[in-house]
Amino acid sequence: MPIKFKRLVLKKGLDIPIKGKAAPVVLKRVVPDVVAIKPTDFKGLVPRLLVREGDKVLAGSPVMADKLHPEILITSPVSGTVRQIVRGEKRKLLAVLVKADAKQEYVDFGIPDIVKEGQARDILLKSGLWASLVQRPYGVMASLDAQPKIIYISTFNTAPLAPDNEFALDGRLEDLQSGILALTCFAPVEEGITGDDSLFAKLGSVFQHRVSGPHPAGNPGVQISHFNPIQKGETVWTVSPMLVAAIGHLVNTGKLDLMRRVAVTGPDATKLGYVECLPGTPVADIAHVLPDVRVIGGDVLSGENLGAEGYLGFFQDQLTLIREGREREWFGWAKPIRPKVFSSSMCYFSWLTPKKEYEMDTNVHGGPRAFVETKCFEDVTPMDIFPIYLIKACMAGDIEKMEQYGIYEVLPEDLALCDYVDPSKNEIQAAIQKGIDLMIKEMA
Amino acid sequence: MADTPKPGLFEKGGKLYWLHSSIDAFDTFLRVPGTVTAKGAHVRDGIDLKRVMIIVVVALIPAALFGMYNVGVQTSTLYGLDWGFFHKFFYGLLRMLPLFVVSYVVGLGIEFASAQIRGEEVNEGYLVTGFLIPLIVPVDVPLWMLALATAFSVIFVKEVFGGTGMNIWNPALVARAFLFFSYPSSMSGSGVWVSKTWAGLGGVDAISAATPLAIAHDGGFDAATGAVGQYSFMDLFWGFIPGSTGETCVVAILLGAILLVWTGVASWKIMVSSIAGGLLVGWLGQLAGATALPCYYQIVMGGFLFGSVFMATDPVTAAQTETGKWIYGFLIGALAVVVRLWNPGYMEGMMLAILLMNTFAPLIDHCVVSSHMSRRARKAAKA
């Protein structure tokens, strides 16, 4: 039963009307030939390889470990044979490719008695699901010695075309509940819910908040900053609902199963809907990619450009396909009306068609300039911070100012809309990430 | 023209690569750049600075058109000429055209040159500045003076700080201030505000027409307007009075204000608070006996409204925090009227009030942000 809840209605923010929402149908279930395990999915991980080409692995076998904390393992989502170790510049480890067996075999971790001290922690570490815990500040992998004040789960995603968790996790209530119980071994668990008839409202042992509003209301960072702001020296862990279900499945069955429903979205997706697959599945197996289309793992604001040859990331439950916008429109900026271009500002006439969905592309619609208009940032940032001051402190690398202006509370995704609305086309998420990286380096 | 830059010639390593800033400027003026997002958000809003700037220029057009017509009206009235509507308008248009040409040629020339030197894209901020400058100077100002003032303000107020977005003071206002302090005889008094016609009339110097503020300067506000003055409230409101070209007509300025507020390009908070500041000080002046004029006259006289709508709201030089905008605007309005009422030397306080508050805008923001931060810290300490 829910314990009690707070209600939060956010006004600031923006829902970008992009075309291509996934229909609530499962299009197919992908049995991949090859999956990739990418250390780059895990922020803060310094990977040490544990396998060689030709090694046999089961679903749940360790593939790499953290150099600094060897207990933290990254495991294979499938059973099969290590086919290739992919390295980039300076021999940086990019991915481990595993050729999947026809019949899947799982490592049996045993069903833990999570009430017992340390059992939940052990099974998360062994199974590789420790990596699903994201630690704030900075959005890195949870550290072993941190004592988080809470674990926060945002149960809904407001990002453009984001998957509907009610559909994606339909029928997994039991796993979710077990996952939450396992997480309560570490810290009190809180969740943000939108809508009273949500699947997640049925969960117990969790402090439930009600949140509504435009994007980024669904971001855990925004919700935490209102309910339980992170002060200097404090940590909070966040887990995505999809991975809470995986944790629940693990403690219920003793097996690692990362199968998930991935939303295939975007104006240039040939088929809109959900595909059941594992992380590391090749993009081409999940969706048909047309030429000159960008495949984004995640949403259009903070997702990762995977490339048509890429693989789904560990945390990703969405693919967005949009056209590369290289066409050049004559007098675009001077035309009174540009029916194909959406602008959230009142400088165009998009406000006349509030219901319209746009076939957006990746064009920047302008060139980089110094900051001129800055109120637009505040209008899309429903947090108690001054975005422009934080952004400038990050650009300047001023640690003290970054702290004052709230660097502990944000991740780049929380200011992703600033990237979108800025008429001066600054790279704001990159600036925030640069600030966070500096904080990690200096505060270590 | 549109398909430049040709590969090789203007691209890196090409013979004319050093010209690429200028070529890019023309190229992106004609067509939206074809660049795609490389990092950060994969899609971007349709808005860019060119659009923002063009909205401001459109907002200035009613004031500019009325101003041109009014140039004709003032000249024909003063010299007793029987001109029709179009004659008046085209007279004003032809008088104003050289000012626009000089302002844009000089200013954009410097902008292009400095963009070339820095190797950056040409910034579109001057689209607005170049349009503002002719609207806030006397119509008969010698063109060489205008060129000098424009060059001074673009170089020393904008480019040395790093271009649009980095400047501390509003460049158009500094150009005006430069003229005012360097060539006061061409910028104030009663002889400069009405254009003399080209043929024959130029020599008739005895004929003059003073702006309401100039009359107030010499003979007090009562001589200028109000119950017994030379100009009625409605004269000031409709704007058929001598003055800088853009500033006289309240209706035209309000049309521009509506567009700016509706599109969100300019802050309504600054406009409202500066008018509130002006009214309050005007009213206090009435109480203190500095003037008998009702306070709302202050708003429609001189450059007050034009300044608070188009100049104070410049997002680069104004306060950036929302609370800061209230304070900043209020102080501009208040200071402008303080100067009018209690400074015997110089009546038009708006220009100096805005420049002064431009200087203090970062300080206001600093105070707003610091007080917010300490409030946050206190809240955190309690929790």
Q: How far apart are CA A429 and CA A38, in angstroms?
A: 22
Please name every residue paired with B114 in a beta bridge, in sequence order, or none if there are none: none
**Interchain contact, B40 vs A405, CB within 8 Å:** no
- Which own/partner contact pairs does A391-397 have at CB distance under 8 Å and 24+ positions apart? A391/A415, A391/A418, A391/A426, A391/A428, A391/A431, A391/A432, A393/A435, A394/A431, A394/A432, A394/A434, A394/A435, A394/A436, A394/A438, A395/A431, A395/A434, A395/A435, A397/A434, A397/A435, A397/A438
Which residues make up the CATH 2.40.50 domain(s) of chain A? 34-100
Can you give the pLDDT at residue B28?
Answer: 80
Any idea which residue has 């999809």 for tokens? A242
Token digits of residue A200: 């997640």
CATH dotted code for A259-323:
3.10.20
Largest CA distance in chain A: 68
Q: Which residues of A touch B315 (CB under 8 A)?
A: 372-375
Instruction: Tell me the nearest-neighbour CA distance from B233 into chain A, angstroms.
Output: 34
Count CB-CB contacts under 10 A for residue A231: 15
Per-residue pLDDT band for B223 (boundaries 50, 70, 90) equals low
Of A426, A425, A429, A428, the C-alpha closest to A333 is A425
Whether B265 shows a pLDDT value over 90: the answer reads: yes
How far, in Å, CA of A115 to CA of A250, rounded?
15
Sheet with A26-29, strands from edge to edge, namely: A26-29, A273-277, A260-265, A318-323, A293-297, A304-305
Selected for mutation to probe chain A from B28, B37, B268 (highest A CB count within 10 Å) is B37
The SS3 call for residue A47 is strand
Least confident of A73-77, B116-120, B176-180: B116-120
Instruction: Please name the amino acid found at residue A244.
Output: V
Q: Compute the distance between CA of residue B301 and CA of residue B347 in angstroms, rounded to an integer.
A: 11
Beta bridge partners of A153: A191
| CA–CA dist A174, A321 (Å, integer) | 33
**Who's near A252: CB < 8 A, 6+ residues apart?**
A111, A174, A175, A178
The pair phi, psi for residue A141, each rounded to 5°, is -60, 140
What is the 8-class DSSP label of residue A88? Answer: -
A253: three-class secondary structure by DSSP = helix
C-alpha of B66 from chain center:
16
Closest-approach residue (CA) in chain B for A406: B373
Percent of chain B scored above 70 by pLDDT?
87
- Please, which pLDDT band fits residue B184 given cuts at 50, 70 and 90? confident
Question: Tokens in use for A90?
Answer: 């300076």
Pick the CATH number of A7-19+111-253 from 2.60.40, 3.30.40, 3.40.50, 3.30.70: 3.40.50
Which residues between 65 and 124 in chain B have a beta carbon less than 8 angstroms from any beta carbon of chain A?
121, 123-124
* Beta-carbon separation of B30 and A388 below 8 A: no
Q: Cβ distance A191 to A207 under 8 Å? A: yes
What class has domain B51-197+213-370? mainly alpha
Cα gap B304→B298, rounded to integer Å:
7
Bridge partners, A305 (sequence order): A296
In the β-sheet with A34-37, what is the strand arrangement from edge to edge? A34-37, A93-100, A80-87, A56-57
Q: In the structure encoding, which two tokens stand for residue A168, read together? A: 């994606």
Tell me the C-alpha distance between A11 and A226, whole Å: 13
Let me know if B375 is exposed, middle or buried by CB neighbors in 10 A (0-12, 13-18, 19+).
exposed
Name the residue type at position A434.
K
Residue of A15, A330, A345 to mutate for B, most B C-beta atoms under 10 A: A345
For residue A137, whether the previous peptide bond is cis, meaning omega lies within 30 degrees of 0, is: yes
- A411/A385 Cα distance (integer angstroms): 13
Q: Give the nearest partner residue to B32 out of A333, A344, A370, using CB atoms.
A: A333
DSSP letters for A349-360: SGGG-TT--B--
The domain defined by A34-100 folds into OB fold (Dihydrolipoamide Acetyltransferase, E2P) (2.40.50)
Please give the residue of chain A at the shortest CA–CA distance from B24: A367
Selected residues 190-249 of chain B with any CB under 8 Å from a CB in chain A = none
The predicted pLDDT at position B228 comes to 56
Range name among A299-308, A422-431, B118-127, B334-343 with the lowest pLDDT average: B118-127
User: Which pLDDT score, from 0 to 100, does residue B201 have?
Assistant: 52
Q: With bands split at pLDDT 50, 70 and 90, how would you rate the model's confidence at B2?
A: very low
pLDDT one digit per residue (tens) for chain A, 444 residues: 445 567 899 999 999 999 999 999 999 999 889 999 999 999 999 999 999 999 999 999 999 999 999 999 999 999 999 999 999 999 999 999 999 999 999 999 999 888 787 889 999 999 999 999 999 999 999 999 989 999 999 999 999 999 999 999 999 999 999 999 999 999 999 999 998 888 999 998 899 999 999 999 999 999 999 998 898 889 999 999 999 999 999 999 999 999 999 999 999 999 999 999 999 999 999 999 999 999 999 999 999 999 999 999 999 999 999 999 888 888 877 788 888 889 999 888 888 888 999 999 999 998 888 998 888 999 999 999 999 999 999 999 999 999 989 999 999 999 999 999 999 999 999 999 999 999 999 887
CA B52/CA B260 separation, integer angstroms: 10
Strands A273-277 and A26-29, bridge-based pairing: parallel
Distances (CA, A) of B94 to B71, B91, B198, B203: 10, 5, 11, 20
Spatial separation of the C-alpha atoms in residues B278 and B354, rounded to whole Å: 13
Residue count of chain B, please give it: 383
Domain with CATH 3.10.20 in chain A: 259-323
Q: Which residue bears the tokens 């922020």?
A: A43
Lowest mean pLDDT among B32-36, B139-143, B319-323: B32-36
Q: What is the dihedral of CA B222, B225, B226, B231, to 10 degrees?
A: 150
List the structure tokens of A258: 């990362």
Looking at this protein, which amino acid is placed at residue A438? L
Report CA-CA distances (Å) from A382 to A210, A215, A385: 15, 9, 8
**Residue B5: cis peptide before it, omega within 30 degrees of 0:** yes
Q: A361 has which bridge partners?
A: A323
A72 Cβ contact list (under 8 Å, min separation 6): A45, A65, A66, A125, A130, A131, A141, A144
What percentage of chain B reaches a pLDDT higher than 90? 51
| Per-residue model confidence (pLDDT) at position B277 | 96
pLDDT of residue B198: 55
Phi, psi dihedral angles at A369 (to 5 degrees): -140, 170
B348 Cα to chain A: minimum distance (Å): 28
Measuring CA to CA, which residue among A169, A345, A200, A358 is closest to residue A274? A169
pLDDT of residue B11 exceeding 70, the answer is no
CB contact under 8 A, B320 and A388: yes
Closest C-alpha among B284, B266, B257 to residue B328: B266
The average pLDDT across B39-64 equals 93
Q: What are phi and psi of B112, to 5 degrees?
A: -65, -45
> Is a pLDDT exceeding 50 seen at residue B300?
yes
Give the whole-angstrom CA distance, residue A432 versus residue B11. 32
Give the burial string for B18-41 (b: 16+ CB within 10 Å, else e).
Answer: ebbbbbbbebbeebbbebbbeebb
The half-sphere exposure of A168 on its side-chain side, counting CA atoms within 13 A, is: 30
Interface with chain A: mutation pick from B1, B31, B32, highest number of A CBs within 10 Å: B32
How many pairs of residues across A and B have Cβ atoms under 8 Å apart?
Answer: 188
Give the nearest partner residue to B165 out of A325, A341, A369, using CB atoms: A369
Q: Which of A372, A389, A424 to mutate to test the interface with B (most CBs of B within 10 A)?
A: A372
First to last CA, chain B: 64
**How large is the ipTM?**
0.92
Query: What string of DSSP letters covers A153-185?
Result: EE----STT---HHHHTTT-HHHHHHHHHHHTT
Residues of A with Cβ-Cβ distance to B35 under 8 angstroms:
363-364, 367
Residue A211, C-beta contacts closer than 8 angstroms, at least 6 positions apart: A7, A8, A9, A10, A154, A156, A192, A193, A194, A217, A218, A223
Q: Report B:289-318 residues touching A (Cβ under 8 A).
A: 315-316
> Which ranges in chain A are annotated with CATH 3.40.50?
7-19+111-253
Amino acid (1-letter code) at residue B16: L
Q: How far is B21 from B119, CA to CA, in rounded Å?
A: 6
Domain with CATH 1.10.3430 in chain B: 51-197+213-370
pLDDT at B378 over 90: no
